[in-house]
């Protein structure tokens, strides 16, 4: 275990130095490739012998609370790792392959407190977002693929709200990704019987002003979230969807009725992270948002054509605007458009 610990320490230090958001382990017959996710791009870091990978895998499974003997089912775990300069929460996930297991690690810095201004590229979108949370009831959804900044946005938004006014705020998360002061954070634990459903029911008894649900994953949680928003609570949550308009279809497929959507849904923000150029260098990523609210949201809910809603800005429009302002390179613009 000492050897594995030293290898892990070196690997994590390299990932932090590279500003990686994820580490991917890809095992083969006699070796394993290690990739870093940096500014959205998957970059090969190094190749290690398969024996060394198995040692690391066992070490990570043990220290994150997974079952070392279980190799046939996917497992999840968390590790808190501290360097002198940064404290990390590591979210680990294994995936069974043919006679092997792959491993992915999401790196979540705990001491990194970005402001809303640093998160978003366009200030007008930030102002619109802050206006949404002045509602005292209803539901606001943040959507996008894995790694698009949904949870980071939620955390930062909650911290901003609470710095301006006191609200009884409760979160339900699986797992809790970052400790926040002045917020009651509930760790969902299916094995212990703490599901999103039971957690929500208990949270409602604590007189919350704001409820944050880490992710709407199924029809029951979706309906409960909308029911909570109808009883005088502001609900914030995330959902996996490719676009703002696609979120409506996902909710309908989950059994949320059109009536509930019209009564409760305040707005949808679909997020996309793009690498921005500062002094001709890609130094960080910032979010752009497809924002459905007001008349554009009503248009979609009533079955209208979003293309005729002039105030709605698509990701493609926002990327072109970012290029025109000099935030992104033409290469980034063309690459993003080809992937859309």
Question: Does 122 lie in the same domain as 73?
Answer: no
Judge whether residue 102 has pLDDT over 60.
yes
Whether residue 201 sits in one domain with residue 325: yes
CATH number at residue 24: 3.30.450.90
Query: Where a domain ends, among 63, 83, 109?
Result: 109
pLDDT at 243: 85
Task: Compute the distance between CA of residue 293 and CA of residue 117 in angstroms, rounded to an integer.
Answer: 21
pLDDT tens for each residue of 212-265: 998 898 898 898 889 888 888 899 999 998 888 889 999 999 999 999 999 999
Judged by average pLDDT, the poorest of 6-15, 262-271, 321-330 is 321-330
Per-residue pLDDT reduced to its tens digit, 175-198: 787 788 788 999 887 777 888 888
**Which of residues 109, 132, 155 is at a domain's end?**
109
> Is there a single domain that holds both residue 129 and residue 197?
yes
Q: What's the order of all strands across the beta sheet hosting 87-96?
A: 41-49, 31-38, 22-27, 101-109, 87-96, 75-82
Beta-strand runs (E) in 279-311: 281-293
23 confidence band (pLDDT: 50, 70, 90):
very high
User: Do residues 27 and 97 lie in contact, with contact meaning Cβ atoms separated by under 8 Å?
Assistant: yes
189: CATH: 3.40.50.300
Q: Tell me: do 121 and 103 sit in the same domain.
A: no
Task: Note the residue count of the chain.
Answer: 340
Based on the fold, state whether residues 24 and 121 are members of the same structural domain: no
At residue 251, the pLDDT reads: 94
Domain encompassing residue 165: 116-339
CA distance 259 to 285: 37
Q: Are residues 101 and 123 in the same domain?
A: no
pLDDT at 282: 58
The domain tally of the chain equals 2
Residue at a domain's end among 74, 109, 144: 109
The answer to pTM > 0.85 is: no
């Amino acid at each position: 275990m000492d050897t594995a610990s030293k290898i892990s320490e070196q690997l994590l230090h390299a990932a932090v130095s590279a500003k990686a958001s994820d580490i991917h382990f890809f095992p083969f017959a006699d070796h394993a490739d290690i990739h870093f996710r940096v500014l959205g791009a998957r970059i090969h870091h190094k190749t290690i012998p398969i024996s060394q990978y198995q040692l690391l895998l066992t070490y990570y499974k043990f220290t994150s609370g997974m079952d070392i003997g279980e190799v046939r089912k996917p497992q999840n775990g968390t590790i808190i790792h501290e360097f002198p300069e940064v404290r990390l929460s590591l979210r680990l996930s294994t995936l069974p392959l043919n006679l092997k297991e792959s491993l992915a690690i999401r790196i979540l810095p705990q001491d990194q407190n970005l402001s809303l201004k640093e998160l978003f590229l366009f200030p007008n979108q930030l102002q619109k977002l802050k206006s949404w949370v002045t509602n005292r009831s209803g539901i606001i959804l943040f959507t996008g693929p894995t790694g698009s900044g949904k949870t980071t946005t939620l955390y930062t938004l909650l911290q901003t709200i609470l710095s301006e006014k006191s609200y009884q705020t409760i979160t339900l998360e699986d797992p809790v990704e970052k400790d926040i002061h002045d917020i009651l954070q509930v760790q969902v634990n299916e094995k212990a019987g703490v599901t999103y459903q039971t957690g929500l029911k208990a949270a409602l008894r604590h007189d919350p002003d704001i409820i944050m649900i880490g992710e709407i994953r199924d029809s029951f949680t979706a309906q409960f979230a909308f029911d909570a928003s109808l009883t005088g609570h502001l609900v914030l949550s995330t959902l996996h969807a490719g676009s703002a308009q696609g979120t409506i279809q996902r909710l309908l497929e989950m059994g949320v009725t059109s009536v509930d959507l019209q009564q409760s849904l305040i707005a949808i923000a679909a997020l996309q992270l793009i690498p921005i150029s500062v002094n001709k260098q890609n130094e960080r990523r910032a979010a752009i948002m497809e924002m459905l609210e007001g008349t554009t949201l009503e248009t979609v809910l009533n079955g209208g054509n979003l293309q005729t809603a002039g105030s709605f800005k698509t990701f493609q429009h926002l990327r072109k605007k970012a290029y025109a302002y000099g935030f992104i390179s033409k290469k980034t613009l063309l690459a993003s458009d080809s992937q859309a």
